[in-house]
Structure formats: C-alpha cells, structure tokens
A and B are shown apart, each in its own frame.
Chain A
Amino acid sequence: MARHEMTGNEMSYYAEGGIERHQYDVVVVGAGGAGLRAAIAAHEAGANTAIVCKSLLGKAHTVMAEGGIAAAMGNRWPEDNWEVHFRDTMRGGKMLNNWRMAQLHAQEAPERVLELEDWGALFDRTDDGLISQRDFGGHRYARLAHVGDRTGLEMIRTLQQRAVQIGIDVFMECTVTDLLQDRSSGEGRMAGVFAYWRETGRFVVIDAPAVILATGGIGKSFKVTSNSWEYTGDGHALALRAGAKLINMEFVQFHPTGMVWPPSVKGLLVTESVRGDGGILKNSEGKRFMFDYIPDFFKAETADTEEEADRWYDDKKNNRRPPELLPRDEVARAINSEIKAGRGSEHGGIYLDIASRRTPEFIRKRLPSMYHQFKELADVDITAEPMEIGPTCHYVMGGVEVDADSQESAVTGLYAAGEVSGGMHGSNRLGGNSLSDLLVFGRRAGESAAAYVAGLGEARPAVSDEDLRAGQWSAVAPFSVDGGENPYSIQHDLQQKMNDLVGIIRTEAELAQALEEIEQLKVRAKSMSVDGHRQYNPGWHLALDLRNMLLVSEAIAKAALARQESRGGHTRDDFPGPNPEWGAKNLVVSLADDGESVMLNPQPLPPMPDDLKKFFD
C-alpha cells in the first residue's frame, strides 16, 4: 500500500471513487496553537489522533502572534495571581465573558507556559533567570511571557516539534469541507470529516467519533486585516451546518495598530508591545491624544497626566497606567475618531512613536521583528522616526458555543478551541489572552475528546454513503458551471462591503445594507465557476472557502444589527454606550431551516457565583 509523502499515512488508491479512507479516534481540524495543543493532549490521553490543516505544518496564523502569552506567573510582580488576571479579563471583555472560561483560563495559563518550556521553548528571562513578563493593554501587571516580539513563532515551533516527536499524523495542505454525522440515531453525533488534498484534489474521508475544530478566525472577510488567507471562518461555518451554535459573533476586534503604508502591507500587525514597552500615540498636531479618550469605566485605573503615565513603567504601585494601554477596543475607537476629525497622518493613520522615548538598542532588542518589518517593507527606521498606523481587523471574539470545562459544542463529539470558540473573551479580548486561551482550552478539548472516545467502546458512529456522495458533489460543483463569475471578484466585493458597512463603527442603515449585499453575493456565489483542474488550484480552493466566508459574514452582520448598544468590539454610532439589558445576554446564532442563512436568539449570560462576583465590587 502506498504511503503519503508528507504524513506517512496509508493511502487506499483502490477505494471506490478515488476517495482515501482513514480511521482515527480524534481528528483535529487546524494546526495552530489550539489545534496542536489539542492533538498533543488527545494523543497523550491515549487517543489515536490526526491533525488536518490547510497549510504546511508550522505555517498557521499563530506564527504571526507577536507580543506574548498572558499568564499570572508573578515573575516580575509577585502581587499578580489568577484572581487579578481573571478580573482584568472580565473587565476587558466588558463583563460579557463566560465567567467559567475566564476563570479556568486565568488559573491554568501559568502551568501551560511552563509546559512549553519543558518542550524546548526558549523564553526571554528576568534578571533572576525566570521567564520574563511584559506589560500589555488591560493587564494590571506585566504578565506576558514572550520571546522578543515573535512569541507566536516560538509557540508554534515548540508545539510542532512536540507533535512530531510523539508521532501524531498530520494531513498537511488538506482542507475539510464537511463534518460527517451519524444520522441513524437522530441526534447527529460526529462521525468524521470530509476533506480534499490541496495538492491533488483527491478526496479524503476520516472516520472519527470526535472532531476538534481549531480553525481560527474570520478576518479574511474584511479588506483591511492582519489575518492570513486561511482565516475564512471554516470552523464557524462547519459548526453551524452541523447544528452547533455560535455566540457573540457581533464582536470583532479591530487592533488599534496595523500598518497603513505602503499599500501592500496595509493591515499588517504592529504589536501592542510597542506601547507596552513605552511607545505613545500622537496625532498630526503632535498631541498625545489618548488622554482625551479615557472612558469612565477605566478612569480610576488610568493616568490622567503624561508625567504619571511615564512614571508607571518603573513604579506601578504609586502610578496609574498610561491611556495608550487601555484595552484594544478603546484605543482603536480613539484612533478612528482622530483620523475622522482630520488629525491623521499623511497616509491616513496616526503616529506611533517609540523612537523619541527609548534608545535604539532597547528598541532593536525588544522589538526585533517590528524593526525588521518596517525597515524591509516600508523603509522606516523605527528607532529614528515614528510609525504610521491605523486600526485593522484582527480577531473575532465570537465563535462556537461550548461547555466551559470540556469545550464540547451542542453536537455530541464536536469540540472547539481557540479563536473558533466563543465566550472566553466576551465583547473584547485583551492582548496576550489569545495565546494562553489556545493552550488552556486546546488541552482541555483534547482531553475531553479522548475521554469521550474511550467511553464509546465498540459502538462507533457511522458515516453514511449518502453524505459521502453529497460531500463530493458539493465540492466539485464549481467546476460544473461554465462562464460563471470569478470567485476572486466575489471575495473582493465581500471584503470591501464588510470593511465599509460592518467595520469598526456601525449603524443600523449600514448593517441592513450589508445584509442585502451579502444576499446578493450569495446569489452570485451560486453561479461562480473555476478554471483548470483539481490539482493545486487556488481558484477552486477559494470558491469552497467563500461559502464559509459568506455564511459567517451574515452571522456577524445580523448579530451586529440586533445588538442595539456599544460594547467592546461592537460600536454602534446610533446606540453609543453600553446598555445593562444587553449586557445580560448573548446573541446565539444558528443555521436557519433553509440551510443557507442564519437566525438569532438572545440567551441570558450564565450567572456568576458570589465568590467571583466579589472581585468586581
């Protein structure tokens, strides 16, 4: 029997219809931080585990994470502990977070970081030789374990090397297009996944009773984004189609600092560490404007003079934090307002200045990737001149609704971890809480999935032939249309509309218009056609991804239209400010009966126990 070059997996060429067939206990979809951590946990718990990922191993979007992993290890500030981290996370999310997820996250993050070190990660150190921790927005203490400004790369490489070492099978450049369910029982338990190899276009079916979605986010539906091409909302859409639910989809994080020039790099992330390490924001008049944008909610803990703000870096006990380090939603809105008021920079951003505040040696040591990125791509020396930056679509707080402890969705055997899951970050995520989220909940998902499979015994759910035929038919449909529309132009129009109508500041009229536009795009997408054949054909791949992008974009726009308040990553010009009634509920998105659109239901937040409530008195 032939073996696949990359994975070493056996390939059954003789299988009917050219479909490869494999059997595993647990399949993880996605090989970023959450997927790799989940796979390691499932494997170590004894489950026969496979990872399926759209790109080569080690290229997932996690590599782009820069700043660090938030974990209350107390290496710099012994006063720090999980309770403070929990409080910061809940306040950063404007109290809309799933309290249990926020609690588990704060409690378990330190051990997850130490575990990475056991597996070979080399973090930057404190003078005492412990893991160094840096300041970030919304975190009361310096809390982010980091490696210069390339922490995500370190995390991916460490997990990748661990996964390879323990022998987990990886299906690289393989895209999952359908989740397969056992329909016989009526409840639709997970039975496997349907996928295709990007290289050959050949179809693959993996029978597995447990599937963990770790597909990341949705940023590629927006024009200006820090996200890589893979971020097409696959997991969100797969979960909806399988009958799971999404929550908090209206909350999309626009990172305050993306590059704005040259056009080729517009949206590319500029790490929050620049501000954590002393960088400040200025408008075209040279004014440090963030002092004008301190909301009441954070007044008590934010410095109101430049002198106090500058003293804070060295003396956190007697000074309050600089307003540049407010949570991301606040800073992004402030920058947006300055640009709209005509005080923007030459290329439509504002200035981020660290050159006048720190020595060139310090900047090059602490921010080597940023130095390199601006030098190579924009001809800007950040040790000598300010950067031009503006908001960029960065992260979706919304995702699959899961049980906080097990990460299981409403569908038996379907789990979600990392950005594709929802609840943990409420309406706004703090910087650094993403990498720790991936580790904490990746591990939990892997362990729960393995335990579920172990409990099944021999009675495994079965994939139906009918579903296999449907999966094949649906995947090759774009080839059967002649002279239809080019998927690239539909994607281009979707990105433009989402950016213009569902962006950082929203209104009822624009959101309603966005929904109409999405309907039209869905019609156009039905008749799109692709050139060429199935072997490594990006046009075909995009055509399949677009279906997910459209469904998820609709979910975002619909939820954003319904939520008549401003909170975290959702700002309504027509409803400025938070509304306590909305603050008590999530919007739950599910697939409508037509199978092609979504519907919304409000649902009360899970009540927080009294022993945690006391942190917010």
Chain B
Amino acid sequence: MAYNLKMRLWRGDKSGGELKDYDVEVERGEVVLDAIHRVQATQAGDLAVRWNCKAGKCGSCSAEINGRPRLMCMCRLSDFEESETITVTPMRTFPVIRDLVTDVSFNYKKARQLPSVELPERKPGEKRTMMQEDVERGQEFRKCIECFLCQNVCHVVRDHEDNKEAFSGPRFFLRFAELDMHPLDTADRRERAQQAAGLGMCNITKCCTEVCPEGIHITDNAIIPMKERVVDKKYDPLVWLGNKIGIRNKDNDGRTPV
C-alpha cells in the first residue's frame, strides 16, 4: 500500500523562505502529519513543526494544506490523489517563527484581556444546580481546541495587520458568548464585547465556522446572538422601557456590567 508522495513544504524563518520539494514514502491510511514526521526523521531533522496529540484534540498542528487551513493530524492522505503534490505552508495570519511554526502569541495576549466567569459565592460542600439544557449552549463553545484556525481565516485580521489591536477574533467571541449564556454567571459583558473586543468589526462572513475542526457553529450560535444582545442593549426602546418599569431581558437579568 506504500507509495511515494510528493510534498512541497515551506522552509524558512521571519527573514524569508521558500517552498522545498520532498519525496517521501507513505501509506494510504496515514495523515499529512505522518508524512511530515517521516520527512523530519529521514531527510530534514530540523524541520520545525508544532504538534502534540496527533488526534485532533489539542489543536497544535494548524497549517494551510494546498491553501486550505486544516489540522495536519486530521487531514488524511486518502483524501488526495496519490499523484497529487501536497503543499503545506504555515498559517498566514500569524508571523512565522520557523518553517511551519508560527507565533500565535496574538491569541494568548487576547486571552489575557478577557473577562472571567463570575459566579455567586458557594458555601463549602454546597453543590450548584444547573440543568442540562442550560449548560449545553456553553458546552458547544467549550469544545474549542484553540487551534486558532478561525483566527487565521478571519479576514478582519488576515489581511489587515492594523486591526489586530482592536479585534479579539472569533475564538474569543465564543468565550464572550459562553459566559453570557452561562446559567449562573452574574456579569454583563456586552459593552466590553462591543468596545474592547471589537465584536462590531465582524461582518459575519462565516469563514471561521467553515474551518472549525470541531464543527462549532461559531457564527450562528455565538457571534450573531452576541451581536443581537449588544444591539438590544444599545438601541431597543422596548428594552429601555423594560428597564424603566422593571421588566428586564431575562438573559442579562441581575447581571452587573464589567
């Protein structure tokens, strides 16, 4: 079942680089990351590639395979013709460190700016109660493996370096939505999502949803509902009236703006 695969891999660092050709023996049951590991073990010991679990669970091995943003460990060789050349390049939105490894520190910086969960105090030994249907909305977003492919394809930052300062990106809109939908959380982060995180800059082209390896409905289930909630707060005269006469939007009932 073994055959010879032609690969083109980007080699270089921040000062520049080029696509290099490799011939490597592979089997049909293997994935792109297997082929790259074999190149590394037999032809280019210093080929830089970031990976951990090789099971689609850690989100480390993101790259662009024949131009498509994918996890290298979940991209099967059997999806390609045996004669096809597979080209692997680093994620384009983030600066290259070396070869296929990019500097994703943008995402860790954004994570540090995020608000955290705010639950009421719990007495020792006391158990919190939440219903399954209420936690399920947030659970979908917590499936995120932080591969940052959504951040990579988001055109707000992919081609506009200057937007990075003001824009957190889809991965972190998920976090806002998750906290907003947490059944026990007490904070109202709508203002913050809109202002500091740049939610308003997203114009819902759904690129993020298309590349999510976990199949999270980022746009439909997280970003659009968050946008609606922000808009409710800002413009809706009914909400204004409701606030005045004591009938409030139940999703943000009792929450404190942070």
Interface size on A, residues (CB 8 A): 70
Q: In the complex, how many angstroms separate the beta carbon of B169 from the nearest chain A beta carbon? A: 16
Contact residues in B for A122 (Cβ distance below 8 Å): 130, 135, 138-139, 142, 182
Partner of B57, one of A63, A117, A487: A63
Within 8 A of A (CB), among B5-49: 13, 27-31, 34, 40-42, 44-49
Contact residues in B for A492 (Cβ distance below 8 Å): 41
Q: Is the CB of B27 within 8 A of A161?
A: no
A64-B122 contact given A264-B30, A539-B46, CB 8 Å threshold: no
Binds A, one of B109-117, B152-160, B194-202, B225-233: B109-117
Distance of A61 Cα from B46 Cα, bound (Å): 24
Q: Is the CB of B29 within 8 A of A262?
A: yes
Closest to A124 in B: B132
Contact residues in B for A125 (Cβ distance below 8 Å): 130-132, 135
Contact residues in B for A165 (Cβ distance below 8 Å): 116
Q: Is the CB of A147 within 8 A of B139?
A: yes
Distance of A153 Cα from B54 Cα, bound (Å): 15
Q: Is the CB of B99 within 8 A of A536?
A: yes
Partner of A262, one of B30, B105, B138: B30
Q: How many A-B residue pairs have CB under 8 A?
A: 171
Within 8 A of B (CB), among A473-521: 486-489, 492
Within 8 A of A (CB), among B80-106: 97-99, 101, 103-105
Contact residues in A for B48 (Cβ distance below 8 Å): 536-538
B237 interface residue (CB < 8 Å to A): no
Distance of A261 Cα from B76 Cα, bound (Å): 13
Q: Is the CB of A538 within 8 A of B49?
A: yes
B119 interface residue (CB < 8 Å to A): yes
Q: Is the CB of B31 within 8 A of A264?
A: yes
B interface footprint on A372-396 (CB within 8 Å = 1, 0 otherwise)? 1100110000000000000000000
Closest to A489 in B: B41
Interface residue SS majority, chain B: loop
Q: Is the CB of A535 within 8 A of B142?
A: no
Within 8 A of B (CB), among A263-291: 263-265, 268-269
A interface footprint on B133-153 (CB within 8 Å = 1, 0 otherwise)? 001001100111110000000
Q: In the complex, how many angstroms separate the beta carbon of B107 from the nearest chain A beta carbon? A: 9
Distance of A230 Cα from B74 Cα, bound (Å): 19
Which of B45, B54, B135 has the most CB atoms of chain A within a 10 A radius of its CB? Answer: B45
A373-B29 contact given A532-B45, A536-B99, CB 8 Å threshold: no
A264-B40 contact given A64-B55, A122-B139, CB 8 Å threshold: no
Contact residues in B for A264 (Cβ distance below 8 Å): 27, 29-31, 34, 54
A56 interface residue (CB < 8 Å to B): yes
Q: Is the CB of B182 within 8 A of A129?
A: no
Q: Is the CB of B129 within 8 A of A157?
A: no
Closest to A535 in B: B98
Q: Is the CB of B46 within 8 A of A540?
A: yes
Closest to A259 in B: B55
Distance of A536 Cα from B138 Cα, bound (Å): 36
B124 interface residue (CB < 8 Å to A): yes
Which of A57, A157, A264 has the most CB atoms of chain B within a 10 A radius of its CB? Answer: A264
Contact residues in A for B105 (Cβ distance below 8 Å): 5-6
A76 interface residue (CB < 8 Å to B): no
Partner of A199, one of B54, B76, B97: B97
Closest to B98 in A: A536
Closest to B29 in A: A262
Which of B49, B52, B76, B130 has the most CB atoms of chain A within a 10 A radius of its CB? Answer: B52
Q: In the complex, how many angstroms separate the beta carbon of A532 from the nearest chain B beta carbon? A: 3
Which of A125, A486, A538, A540 has the most CB atoms of chain B within a 10 A radius of its CB? Answer: A538
Partner of A539, one of B45, B114, B116: B45
Contact residues in B for A150 (Cβ distance below 8 Å): 57, 143
Partner of B53, one of A63, A75, A377: A63
A64-B142 contact given A120-B117, A531-B46, CB 8 Å threshold: no
Q: In the complex, how many angstroms separate the beta carbon of A531 from the nearest chain B beta carbon? A: 5
B170 interface residue (CB < 8 Å to A): no
Distance of A535 Cα from B97 Cα, bound (Å): 9
Q: In the complex, how many angstroms separate the beta carbon of B150 from the nearest chain A beta carbon? A: 15
Contact residues in B for A569 (Cβ distance below 8 Å): none
Q: Is the CB of A118 within 8 A of B58?
A: no
Within 8 A of B (CB), among A20-69: 55-61, 63-64
B209 interface residue (CB < 8 Å to A): no
Distance of A272 Cα from B257 Cα, bound (Å): 43
Within 8 A of B (CB), among A82-134: 111, 114, 117-120, 122-125, 128-132
Distance of A55 Cα from B49 Cα, bound (Å): 12
Distance of A582 Cα from B55 Cα, bound (Å): 39
Closest to B13 in A: A535
Q: In the complex, how many angstroms separate the beta carbon of B32 from the nearest chain A beta carbon? A: 10
Q: In the complex, how many angstroms separate the beta carbon of A150 from the nearest chain B beta carbon? A: 7
Q: In the complex, how many angstroms separate the beta carbon of A346 from the nearest chain B beta carbon? A: 13
Q: Is the CB of B182 within 8 A of A120?
A: yes
Contact residues in A for B119 (Cβ distance below 8 Å): 118, 120
Partner of B142, one of A63, A157, A369, A538: A157
B168 interface residue (CB < 8 Å to A): no
A612 interface residue (CB < 8 Å to B): no
B250 interface residue (CB < 8 Å to A): no
Contact residues in A for B54 (Cβ distance below 8 Å): 228, 264-265, 268
B244 interface residue (CB < 8 Å to A): no
B235 interface residue (CB < 8 Å to A): no
Closest to B60 in A: A59
B interface footprint on A524-538 (CB within 8 Å = 1, 0 otherwise)? 000000111101111
A164-B98 contact given A122-B182, A230-B52, A376-B74, CB 8 Å threshold: no
Q: Is the CB of B49 within 8 A of A263?
A: no
Contact residues in A for B128 (Cβ distance below 8 Å): 114, 117
A64-B46 contact given A131-B127, A165-B116, CB 8 Å threshold: no
Contact residues in A for B182 (Cβ distance below 8 Å): 120, 122
5 examples of A-B residue contacts, CB within 8 angstroms? A64-B55, A120-B117, A376-B56, A535-B13, A539-B45
**In the A-B complex, the 8 residue pairs with the closest CB atoms:** A262-B29, A532-B46, A539-B45, A120-B117, A129-B129, A488-B41, A536-B98, A536-B48
Using a CB–CB cutoff of 8 Å, the interface residues on chain A facing chain B are: 5-6, 55-61, 63-64, 73, 75, 111, 114, 117-120, 122-125, 128-132, 147-148, 150, 153-154, 157, 161-162, 164-165, 172, 199, 228-230, 261-265, 268-269, 369, 372-373, 376-377, 486-489, 492, 530-533, 535-540
Using a CB–CB cutoff of 8 Å, the interface residues on chain B facing chain A are: 13, 27-31, 34, 40-42, 44-60, 74, 76, 97-99, 101, 103-105, 108, 111-112, 114, 116-117, 119, 122, 124-125, 127-132, 135, 138-139, 142-146, 179, 182
